[in-house]
Structure 1
Amino acid sequence: MEYRFSNVILNAKTQTLDVSDKKVVLEERALNLLLYLLDTRPKVCNQQELVAYLWPDSVVSPWSLPRLVSDTRSLLQRLGVEQDIIVTVRGQGYKFNPELRVIQQSAVDETQFNIEAISAEQNTQGAHLKFWIGLTLFMCTVCIWLVINHSFEHLDDNEFKASEPLDAIGRILWVDDNPKNNKKEQKYFLKHKIGVYNTTSTQEALLLLSMYEYNVVISDMGRQGEPLAGLKLLRAMRSRGDETPFYVYTWVESESQNTVIKSAGGQGVATKKIDLYEYVLLHFHNEIM
């Protein structure tokens, strides 16, 4: 199913949001939130109803839903959505903006339309052959698209993994091409109710930072054959005005490395687990206390 509203195209099948030719893949709960509000419009959905739908058979903190709504609104705003999509009804819940006109079109309708358009060519001499050739090409195109789409989904699953406690007090974005090396450290933060989101590339990290809010970024220094990948990520963040606290976690202890990171706008370098814990937990002090 495809929904068109404001300057947005929301495709439920591909889980993509297209805003003025800027296309992103939505996180599953953000997608489900928008689809639920669309499908139940103009109804006001209360918090209990939405929590039961978005977190089935789970116990979540009272602010899990408000945070999801806030993250989704922030993403829509950064993408350039012209109007408010999610409306808060004080004391009641949330609803889809009733002022927006929504156009729905199913994938079945689109396919049927294309087949009928091809069939119309049968009115000319030799059109019967053209019809079957066209239909065959159309089906091949669909199959190729499905294979490519599945491949990208599989790639995303391998590159980006997330883990967040139900009662999380915040989030860390961890950038490392060997995330298995940090299992013990990540378990430590999870025990302190801090969500950990892993990605292996600078490009993916910058995309995630543009879509969601994180309390801290932890990065390795060398990555995927690039010895200064961590420094380049930090400079890219600061050049975009992103002031999220940034730490490099590496095995090599070097005072000059620490100086370079701080001069680029980072908070520091840690080579020992205990130092990393101390640095990062400072940014969650109020929540932990």
Structure 2
Amino acid sequence: MEYQFSNAALNIRNQSLKVDGKSVALEERTFKLLVYLIDTRPKVCTQDELVAYLWPDSVVSPWSLPRLISDTRSLLRRLGVEQDLIFTVRGQGYKFNPEIAVSFEHVSEDTRIQLEQLRAEHSSDGVHLKFWIGVTLLMCSACIWLVINQSVIHQQNTSFKASEPTDAKGRILWVDDNPKNNVKEQGYFLNQKIGVYNTTSTQEALLLLSMYEYTVVISDMGRDGEPLAGLKLLKAMRSTGDQTPFYVYTWVESEKQKEVILSAGGQGVATKKRELYDYILLHFNDEKI
């Protein structure tokens, strides 16, 4: 049996993907991910559900599923699949692109049996679902605690505590490995009734963006020895369909840098406080979110 969609076909018998007539064998977990999303469409599959199915009887990193999703998207693009197959539903999980029609072609009775076995795996995995949901939630809680604890340590060192006013107009996610460099700027936004949340790494930022809504993201360009960390964060966001407005705040003035950020889907680069304020305030109004 084959699932046929876009300019590709997913073969159940040999776990391969055929794109424009060229067939490529898929790694088992990538194959199972695609089959599961197709079988459950148009349902949104939660992260806990997918982790429990793809890594049964295993304890995995909170980054395992986002990394698999990202790697699968990259593979599909390299193979020439014309449409994005996997949609990110922020704060919920993932689903197969509802705009893509899927048809089925029966190949043989052996293939049908194999498909039934695969679906049986879906069912058997459900026996462990509640247990692994609990494990995953515990891991996520620990990860969130680490993020918050790290942010508090940085904030204590700078006598600045990020928070959200009770009547906040919106929220900023600020990504910088040296939050103390932005104390005055963050204080300004708090006075404008805008919540400010700090994180120090791309990985933490992507996790927070997958769980919460932010009005704007502000990032430095280089951190932890990676000169293009801000650009890589922007590209990672846009590759998952996250269109949150994105600005780079840096001390280096460069027209080329602005050009690169804009071409990657960002909204701008600021090198001065006043310039940053003008950019960010464009995204807030008097209505609470």
TM-score computed with the length of structure 2 as normaliser: 0.49
Is the radius of gyration larger for structure 1 or structure 2? Answer: 1
TM-score computed with the length of structure 1 as normaliser: 0.49
Q: Which structure has the higher relative contact order (CA within 8 Å, separation 6+)?
A: 2
